[in-house]
Structure 1
Amino acid sequence: MAVLTYAIGGLAALAGLGLLTTVYYYNRIVKLENRVDNAWAQIDVQLKKRADLVPNLVETVEGYMDHEREVMEKVSESREKLVNAQSPEEEAKAGNQMTEAMKSIFAVAEEYPDLKASENFKELQQELSSIEGKVAYARQHYNDAILEFNNSIETFPAVVFANLMGKTEKDQLQIDTADKELPDVSFGE
């Protein structure tokens, strides 16, 4: 009888341990996935703030650059794509396009001393620069959250629970090849 009591007690302890392990890994995976979602939301906030500044920048710049229509159209088009993006991938791609369009505006602005001296333009340029730094930081945080999530669901025993939950590895944000290239810098004519 005592052996049966110990056996039942041992089975109950194993079942309890199994239940606690399941709850622990389930909750850990859910928390890490929520952290990834939150990290993306932070990127989204910064991209939206940047997109909201674009109409002010365009309005400020248009008065100075009547013949730079193509640059202005690229900026407006990239903003439209960002605002209408339906997925993180589309939003990231549109955000990169907007970054390139903004670089074009600031490059063209170099040709207009009155525009560069405009207080409104300077403030918008400074605000956009600040937001770019925040976007870069948010992207880094997002990739860190992805790394932690992926490591968690790929290691044993969490991989068993992740498979049962249908969780798979998430992709990190990648930098476009064009953005990795060093710019040409020339101090000569």
Structure 2
Amino acid sequence: MKKSVKILLIVLAIIAVIAFPIIGTYNNLVSLEQKVDAAQSNIDTQLQRRSDLIPNLVSTVKGYATQEKDIFTDIANARSKLAGASNVSDQATADGELSNALSRLLVVVEKYPDLKSNENFKDLSIQLEGTENRIAIARQDYNTAVTNYNTKRRRFPSNIVSSLLGFEEKPLYKASAGAQEVPKVDFTK
């Protein structure tokens, strides 16, 4: 009987030696994945904030710049794409298009000195600038969380646990193609 108890204790010790690191790794991966989800949610919140500010900004500018209809259409289309984005890649592409259209809108404002001195426009511009800064920080936080998560899930022995338990790689938030290009604004139309 003592021998069977000893064997049972040895088996339980071996199971514990194997199980505790697996449980610890699993819990760590869950925590890192939650940080990625929270960071993604923060991006969504800031993009929504910007999206909510844009109609007010556009309507303020429309009164001054009625001939700039293409920019207003581009902004509306980009906002629709952003609202319908189903993953991080689509969201980043739509976000880039919206940022491009907004920068073109702000260039148009330079043509209208009265608009630049309009209090509503000044206030909206300040809010938009603050929101753009928040979006940039939220993107950085997301990419940091994704990098930490992806690194953990690829390192040994976490890679074994992550592959067995279905922890998938998360995509980084990347700028859309052409985001580095300067927006083209044509005032000759």
Same fold (TM over 0.5): yes
Q: Residue 111 of structure 1 corresponds to which residue in structure 2?
A: 111
> Quick one: structure 1 residues 182 and 68, their matched pair in 2 at CA, closer, same or farther if it must change by over 3 Å?
closer
Unaligned runs of 5+ in 2: 184-189
Q: Residue 186 of structure 1 corresponds to which residue in structure 2?
A: none
| 1:25 CA drift (Å) | 1.4
Cα separation, 2, equivalents of 1:88 and 1:154:
21
| 1:79 CA drift (Å) | 1.3
* TM alignment of 1:37-116, pairs within 5 A: 37-116=37-116
Among all aligned residue pairs of Structure 1 and Structure 2, give the percentage whose two residues are the same amino acid: 34
* TM alignment of 1:87-166, pairs within 5 A: 87-166=87-166
Query: For residues 1-56 of structure 1, what are the alpha-carbon distances to aligned partners after superposition, in whole Å with 9 as ceiling and x for unaligned?
Result: 65554433222111122222222111111111111111100000000000001110
TM-score, with structure 2 as normaliser? 0.90
Counterpart amino acid of 2:128?
L
Does 2:18 correspond to 1:10?
A: no
TM-score, with structure 1 as normaliser? 0.90
Q: Is this contact kept in 1: 2:92–2:174, CA < 8 A?
A: no
Q: Residue 176 of structure 2 corresponds to which residue in structure 1?
A: 176
Unaligned runs of 5+ in 1: 184-189
Q: Is this contact kept in 1: 2:93–2:175, CA < 8 A?
A: no
Is the deviation greater in 101-110 or in 71-80? 71-80
Counterpart amino acid of 1:160?
I
Query: For residues 83-111 of structure 1, what are the alpha-carbon distances to aligned partners after superposition, in whole Å with 9 as ceiling and x for unaligned?
Result: 22222222221111110010001001000
Does 2:23 correspond to 1:23?
A: yes
Q: How many residues align?
A: 184
Greater relative contact order, per chain length (Cα 8 Å cut-off, separation 6+): 2
Cα separation, 2, equivalents of 1:135 and 1:74:
20
SS at match of 1:107: helix
